[in-house]
Amino acid sequence: MISSIYDPLGFVAPFHFTVKVLLQDLCRKQLGWDDKIPEEDLRRWGIWLKELPKLEQFTIERCFKPTDFGSVISCQLHHFSDASTIAYGAVSYLRLVNAKHEVHCSFVMGKSRLTPPKACHHPKNGAVSCRALHKTGQNDTSRT
């Protein structure tokens, strides 16, 4: 069920991420196939399952620029990355400024990954998130 969520641009990554963390936590507990899942983990799973139908209602604008925004005088692509002991990720936003100096930001894409079960040190995760950011930037420019 979890791997059936198709999200190549990372729009629902925060939703998907919570259940990936749960699965990794269960793996760390080294439960057997027939072992009972702890109550707290069942509760977390139930909360995620309850939220799953809301994905059907999720919509995004296809165009980065709102229709009534006017002419764009500035266009910038901003990339951010970060890491922790649990995960690392990168995100890209498009920042537009119109002739009235109004600003509009649009989510372009995001990537997130869990750190391997054998935890890496935090500084290494930072380097990995920078690499993910670099790859994201390469992917962005290859589409233009």
How is the chain split into domains, by residue range? 2-57, 72-142
Give the separation between CA 58 and CA 12, rounded to whole angstroms: 9
* pTM strictly above 0.75: no
Q: What is the mean pLDDT of residues 65-94?
A: 95
Give the separation between CA 43 and CA 31, rounded to whole angstroms: 17
Residue 81 has pLDDT above 60, yes or no: yes
Residue 142 has pLDDT above 50, yes or no: no
Give the separation between CA 124 and CA 117, rounded to whole angstroms: 14
Residue 71 has pLDDT above 60, yes or no: yes
Residue 4 has pLDDT above 80, yes or no: no
- How much is the pLDDT for 45? 93
Residue 77 has pLDDT above 50, yes or no: yes
Q: What is the mean pLDDT of residues 7-32?
A: 89
Q: What is the CA radius of gyration of the chain?
A: 19
